[in-house]
């Protein structure tokens, strides 16, 4: 899925045209050819988002002039009259473009130019380092680069714990065990909704997009029951809190990669270090499952979050994590607003 090396940057974009796919047939076909593609590009995630977040899935399918097919699964937000905002997948989750051929610069540029032919649309694409695109500069595109944290799991867990965990993180894990924190993977609607309540309390001070309804967690439980190898919920329970969950970590696995999706902690239990315990449990499990990477995501430049991720041994990779592609009408509106914002006011 990522860009290939050795392409000639001077080459023009390969042409691509939008085609009408038959239902999700092409989407499913290309997805099968990309076993390492992000979970957030799958129909399973689309089902959760569409059922509970009010963002219907819209799949854009393209045919490149060399015969390669590409799919951009998106989620449409209500943007107002004559405007379409489409996220793929949005929310800082790792996504990308699905293609049945390598996404070199020419092919990627062709797909992005085809997206820009949808006049009233703005596409918000998000990526992780392995799938970050190598794209040419263009007026209708705005890219954002930031640090994305990835933990290398190529060592077994014992070596990883010894070599990668910082002293503070190891001590936090020991503290949580001494103070009665027990972590296990749990399934079913009950534990997922319990985690949902924990997440809702923790996210009260976050931005609205980060908060999720309880129906979202119930839908995750339903999909997890159908695909038990993909979605996993680790809960840290406290003896001092009568066995209640005081921290949780929702993980998804696809191919060689485990992604940390959502995490939450009861701040009243922070002295018990339950977050360290639940992440340690998730890392050990990922190693035992044979995964080679754990995605911890970007951190918005928040120093404390970055320090926590580094304490587990995660490395920061600077890459394009999001890319906005605007259609012709949306780009015209953007330029008009920019001109208006710098125009001198009357009488000055």
Domain ranges of the chain: 16-147+320-342, 154-291
For the domain made up of 16-147+320-342, give the CATH fold. Aminopeptidase (3.40.630)
The pLDDT value given to residue 11: 54
The pLDDT value given to residue 2: 42
CA dihedral 269→271→275→278, nearest 10 degrees, is: -80
pLDDT in tens, the chain (348 residues): 443 333 444 456 689 999 986 668 899 999 999 999 999 999 999 999 999 998 999 999 999 999 999 999 999 987 666 789 999 998 889 999 999 999 999 999 999 999 999 999 999 999 999 999 888 889 999 999 999 999 999 999 999 999 999 999 999 999 999 999 999 999 999 999 999 999 999 888 777 777 899 999 999 999 999 999 999 999 999 999 999 999 999 999 999 999 999 999 999 999 999 999 999 999 999 999 999 999 999 988 899 999 999 999 999 999 999 999 999 888 888 888 888 777 555 443
Cα–Cα dist 114/167, whole Å: 50
Cα–Cα dist 309/315, whole Å: 8
The pLDDT value given to residue 12: 61
CA dist list (Å): 304 to 152, 272, 311: 21, 18, 11
154-291 carries CATH number 3.30.590.20 = no
Residue 23, C-beta contacts closer than 8 angstroms, at least 6 positions apart: none
Q: Are 70 and 61 in contact (CB under 8 A)?
A: yes
Q: Model-level pTM? A: 0.90
Do the domains 154-291 and 16-147+320-342 match in fold? yes
Nearest in space to 262 (alpha carbons), one of 222, 319, 206, 188: 206
Q: Are 247 and 274 in contact (CB under 8 A)?
A: yes
Classify 348 as helix, strand or coil.
coil
Residue 298, C-beta contacts closer than 8 angstroms, at least 6 positions apart: 92, 146, 147, 148, 149, 321
The pLDDT value given to residue 16: 93
């Amino acid at each position: 899925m990522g860009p290939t090396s050795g392409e000639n940057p001077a080459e023009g974009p390969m042409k691509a045209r939008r085609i009408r796919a038959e239902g999700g047939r092409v989407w499913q076909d290309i997805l099968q050819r990309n076993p390492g593609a992000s979970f957030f590009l799958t129909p399973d995630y689309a089902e959760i988002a569409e059922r509970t977040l009010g963002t219907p899935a819209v799949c854009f399918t393209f045919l490149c002039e060399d015969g390669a097919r590409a799919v951009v699964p998106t989620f449409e937000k209500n943007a107002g009259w004559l405007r379409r905002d489409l996220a793929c997948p949005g929310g800082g989750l790792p996504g990308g473009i699905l293609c049945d051929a390598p996404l070199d610069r020419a092919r990627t540029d062709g797909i992005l130019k085809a997206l820009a032919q949808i006049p009233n649309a703005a596409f918000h694409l998000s990526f992780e380092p392995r799938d970050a695109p190598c794209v040419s500069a263009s007026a209708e595109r705005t890219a954002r680069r930031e640090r994305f944290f990835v933990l290398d799991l190529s060592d077994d867990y014992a070596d990883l714990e010894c070599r990668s965990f910082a002293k503070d993180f190891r001590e936090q894990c020991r503290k949580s065990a001494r103070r009665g924190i027990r972590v296990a993977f749990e399934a079913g609607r009950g534990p997922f909704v319990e985690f949902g309540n924990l997440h809702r309390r923790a996210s009260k001070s976050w931005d609205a997009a980060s908060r999720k309804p309880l129906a979202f967690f119930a839908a995750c439980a339903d999909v997890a029951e159908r695909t038990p190898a993909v979605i996993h919920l680790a809960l840290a329970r406290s003896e001092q809190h009568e066995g209640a969950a005081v921290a949780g970590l929702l993980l998804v696995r696809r191919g060689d990669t485990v992604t940390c999706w959502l995490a939450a902690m009861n701040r009243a239990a922070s002295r018990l270090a339950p977050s360290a315990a639940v992440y340690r449990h998730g890392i050990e499990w990922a190693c035992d499952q044979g995964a080679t990477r754990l995605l911890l995501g970007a951190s918005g430049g928040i120093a404390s979050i970055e320090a926590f991720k580094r304490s587990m041994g995660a490395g920061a990779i600077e890459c394009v994590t999001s890319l906005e592609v605007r259609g012709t009408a949306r780009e015209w509106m953007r330029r008009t607003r920019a001109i208006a914002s710098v125009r001198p006011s009357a009488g000055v």
